[in-house]
Amino acid sequence: MGDKDRAFRNFLSDKVLFFQFLRRFLRFGTLEGVGLEDIELENVSFISQELVARESDVLYRIRRGGKETYVYILVEHQSSVDHLMPFRLLAYMVRIWERCVEEAGSKSRRKSYLLPPVIPVVFYDGMQKWTVASTFVEKVENGDAFAGFVPNFSYHLMVLGKRTSEELLAFRDALGGLLYLANPSKEEDLSMTVRRLLEYRKLLPPEEREILSRHFAGYLTILAKREGVDLSGMAEEIASEEEAEKMVTYVQREIRKIRKEGRLEGREEGRQEAMQESARKVLESARKMLSRGFDAAQVADVLDLPLEQVRALAESEGEKD
């Protein structure tokens, strides 16, 4: 199982985080009033051997008032979109219904027996634009002409790359912090991401900080690997604030070491361009923080910039206004 699969599996298998996801993104009237006690994580191995190998997708059964609803989340990491997605989803949904029939036994043959709803969700974290058909009938040749004979359904699509860092961090909960870390389109480099995460964590209530600390190690490992920081010796799951602080401190120290030793990959001109781009992003972050009311001292402390530089930036921004 890859780093991404492992990170998403740990994240989506947490009932509290799934509950937050459910309330924020899947606002179906029939699911209103659902509580944590109504949610049960299911094993997806019966659906497909492909899912056994990937181990990133999850299936939840929601029981309430004698009724059941299934939420199946398919995580799509591929750099290129899979245009057979509607067909894959239909195959997985049918397999879920087959198991429901098996569990119901002879009751399934009664007129009163109804199959439970299955809500398919595609969680896409790739950078390529999602151009896959949004309904199943679009994948059937001349499907509209056979309305009533061709199965038709849509799926809930969550394209993470369309969300800005500010939008995700505005959630002010563990879900927002984890989605921010997983977001492939954020402009911040690793050092800035770590700093923002530390500041964000301070704003959360204790129970949300605990959840975030428990799960962010997987995403931080992925981001760190891209910049040459090896976290293989660190814990995959963080159980306390102290362990989280230790990991973040280690990442920051390694980043400084890499920069000091000049171990950035590529030719010298590439290194210079990377450093200039990193500096530009830091200054852009400083401008955003100043525009949101942070004073120069706070910005300098969070972004590790000289105070005089931040004050000069604040004055120049003020002159523009």
pLDDT, one tens digit per residue, over 112-139 is: 999 999 999 999 988 888 999 999 999 9
118-124/156-159 β-pairing: parallel
For the segment 227-243, what is each residue's pLDDT rounded down to a tens digit? 777 776 665 555 566 77
d(CA 137, CA 140): 5
What is the DSSP secondary-structure string of 217-241?
HHHHHHHHHHTT---TTS-SS--SH
For the segment 272-312, what is each residue's pLDDT rounded down to a tens digit? 666 677 778 778 888 887 887 777 887 776 677 788 888 88
251 with 194: CB under 8 angstroms? yes
What pLDDT shows up at residue 271? 55
31 with 69: CB under 8 angstroms? yes
What pLDDT shows up at residue 267? 44
What pLDDT shows up at residue 283? 82
How is residue 116 annotated by DSSP? P
Q: Which residues contact 70 (CB under 8 A, 6 or more apart)?
A: 42, 59, 60, 61, 62, 96, 116, 117, 118, 119
Alpha helices in the chain (DSSP H): 3-12, 15-25, 49-54, 85-104, 165-169, 174-182, 190-202, 206-226, 241-261, 268-291, 296-303, 307-320
Average pLDDT across the chain, whole number: 82
| pLDDT band of 269, cuts 50, 70, 90 | low
Q: Mean of the pLDDT values across residues 147-167?
A: 90
- pLDDT of residue 57 exceeding 60, the answer is yes
d(CA 5, CA 91): 21
Q: Is 19 exposed, middle or buried (0-12, 13-18, 19+ CB in 10 A)?
A: middle
Query: What are φ and ψ of residue 240, in 5° steps?
Result: -150, 165
d(CA 14, CA 25): 16
Q: List the one residue out of 129, 190, 200, 125 whose CA is nearest residue 166.
A: 200
CA angle 17, 19, 24 (to 5 degrees): 95
| pLDDT band of 86, cuts 50, 70, 90 | very high
Q: Mean of the pLDDT values across residues 206-217?
A: 86
Q: Mean of the pLDDT values across residues 239-267?
A: 68
58-64/67-76 β-pairing: antiparallel
CA 143 to chain centre: 34
Which uninterrupted H or E stretch holds 141?
A: none
Taking each helix axis from N to C end, the angle separating 241-261 and 190-202, rounded to the nearest 10 degrees, works out to 160
| pLDDT band of 77, cuts 50, 70, 90 | confident
What type of residue sits at position 152?
N
118-124/67-76 β-pairing: parallel
122's tokens: 């595609």
**For the chain, how big is the Rg over CA atoms in Å?**
23
| pLDDT band of 156, cuts 50, 70, 90 | very high
